[in-house]
Amino acid sequence: MKLCHALAVLIIAWLAVIGHVQAVTLEVNQGNSTCIKAELSASFSITYNTSSGTRTAQVSLPDSSTVDAGSSSCGTDGSSPWLVAVFGAGHALGLGFSTNGSLYSVANLTLQYNLSDTSVFPDSDSLDVVTVVSSSLGIWATINTTYRCESPTTFSVGSASVTFSGMRLEAYMPQNDLSPTESVCTADQASTAAPPTTPGTTTTPAPPPTPPGIPERGAYSVSNINGSVCLLARMGLQLNVSYFSLSQNKTIQELVNLSPNETIVSGSCEPSSASLVLTQEPIATLNLTFTLNSTNSRYRLSAITLLANWSDMTAPFWASNTSLDYLRSTLGRSYMCNAEQTLAVVPTFSLNTFRVQVQPFEVTTNQFATAEECQIDQTQMLIPIIVGAALAGLVLIVLIAYLIGRKRSHAGYQTI
């Protein structure tokens, strides 16, 4: 991309939160204007194979990293904006961006590393240049604001992990420097008691959206392209979110019930993954993703994502965890749990479920298949059975005792 002339300004080598990781400044330019700017520290933990087993290399993004003008792009030619920083002997870190007009996000993170570089990967049994990609990182901000996240945040990419800290980042920049208004990541909101600086917050505080209580049970379904229902769910859902409240000037814990009659249902079904997306405008979008393990024909709720923009928040709340293991059941069955369950997602967000029945795969004739009941329900059902059995036993003993006693007294009577 010739138009794009990129440059990397680095410097300010302050010691970041984790060890000797340096802060690096990277910019993608086109003509005289800057479209992407990032100030961040990054460290990588890369697992590779040696002849005697696996090893993990620790690398940090050095201050000598430069923006690769050839592969970076402002995305003006219809492609997506892309920041590619190169360092060392053929290693690279790439951040691809996307926007929908009101938000922008890091669409994917690419890490390229050169296993021939023996200073970083001693004894590697491969000499390949490996490229790994991860998408949906959850780094996003309102357009025309700077994304800020001081807290270390780790993402896994292939057999590597990338940890960012002290991050300030903006794409689709309106000016040549980072916007003064910031979208602060949830990790920072939770860890710092001080209210984040958000100039221009004149929003009037609003009361909590819905008072807590047991949430109403909703019936939701997702259809595939040809109109047949492929995912069925019946459940009551309650969000437990902690965020920084503008009106109360402190971090608060809020319980919000989803009202089924105000919820827009969408989703998708694929052979080995299915998702249910519940949107309650303008409160929240909750995304539940189920995955199927075809090896053992079992499915589970593997990812939960919440996006909430309540008027009392300093910045939209985003939380996601894609390595969950909840609501496990077998293919061809539905999952059922009448007892209340708490599904922990991230420290600042958990999801409470009530009277769940769900079937994300192999739904036929719009009906739930035979249910597999959760362990808590089975245990709870066991209690009345045990109590019943104990009572029956007691009655039997009393009866036998009575009969024996009666026979004895009868016999005694006769001998006299």
Ligand X SMILES: *[C@@H]1O[C@H](CO)[C@@H](O)[C@H](O)[C@H]1NC(C)=O
Task: Report the site for ligand X in 279-308 (rule: CB under 6 A).
Answer: 293, 295-296, 307
Q: Does 105 bind ligand X (CB under 6 A)?
A: no
Nearer to ligand X, 125 or 389 (CB): 125
CA distance 130 to 126: 10
Q: What is the rounded distance in angstroms from the CA atom of residue 133 to the CA atom of residue 108?
A: 7
Number of residues that bind ligand X (CB under 6 A): 50
Distance of alpha carbon 360 from its chain centroid, rounded?
A: 19
Phi/psi at 384 (5° precision): -60, -35
The piece of 4-12, 249-257, 381-389, 404-412 that touches ligand X (CB under 6 A) is: 249-257
Is the Cβ of residue 60 or residue 350 nearer to ligand X in the bound state? 350
27-46: which residues touch ligand X (CB under 6 A)? 31-32
DSSP string, 252-297: EEEEEEPPGGG-EEEEEE-SSEEEEEEEETTTEEEEEEEEEETTTT
Q: Work out whether 132 is an interface residue with ligand X (CB under 6 A).
A: no
Q: How far apart are CB 397 and ligand X at their closest, in Å?
A: 44
First-to-final CA distance of the chain: 119
| Cα–Cα distance measured from residue 231 to residue 271, given in angstroms and rounded to the nearest whole number | 12
> With contact defined as beta carbons under 8 Å apart, do 170 and 103 qualify?
no
* Residue 240 within binding range of ligand X, rule CB under 6 A: yes
- Closer of 18 and 56 to ligand X (Cβ): 56
Query: Of 24 and 109, which CB lies nearer to ligand X in the complex structure?
Result: 109
Choose between 96 and 209: whose C-beta lies nearer to ligand X.
Answer: 96
Contact letters (x/-) for ligand X, 186-225, by CB under 6 A? ---------x----------------------------xx
Q: Which two tokens stand for residue 216?
A: 């109403």
From candidates 22, 145, 334, 352, binder to ligand X by CB under 6 A: 352
In the complex, the smallest distance separating the C-beta of residue 322 from ligand X, rounded to whole angstroms, is 12
- Decide: is 47 part of the binding site for ligand X (CB under 6 A): yes
Determine which residue in the list 41, 65, 108, 357 makes contact with ligand X, applying CB under 6 A: 108
Q: DSSP state, 314?
A: S
Cβ-closest position to ligand X: 90
Structure tokens belonging to residue 210: 């819905």
Per CB under 6 A, the list member of 204, 226, 365, 415 interacting with ligand X is 226
- CB contact at 8 A, 169 and 26: no
Contacts with 245 (C-beta within 8 Å, 6 or more apart), sequence order: 205, 251, 252, 312, 313
Cβ atoms of 344 and 350 closer than 8 Å: yes
Angle at 165 between CA 164 and CA 166, to 5 degrees: 135
Assess whether the previous peptide bond of 282 is cis (omega < 30° from 0).
yes
Q: Is 136 in the site for ligand X (CB under 6 A)?
A: no
Residue 66 or 80 with smaller CB distance to ligand X: 80
- What residue type is assigned to position 34 of the chain? T
Minimum distance between the CB of residue 83 and ligand X, rounded to whole angstroms? 11
**Residue of 25, 45, 66, 98 interacting with ligand X (CB under 6 A):** 98
Nearest Cα to Cα of residue 191 among 248, 151, 231, 153: 151
279 neighbors 298 (Cβ within 8 angstroms): no
Site membership for ligand X, residue 323 (CB under 6 A) = no
Q: Which is nearer to ligand X, 16 or 108 (CB)?
A: 108
Query: Which positions touch ligand X (CB under 6 A)?
Result: 31-32, 47-49, 79-80, 89-90, 96, 98, 100-103, 107-108, 110, 114, 116-117, 129, 133, 142-144, 159, 174, 195, 224-226, 228, 240, 249, 253, 255, 259, 261-262, 293, 295-296, 307, 309, 311, 316, 342, 350, 352
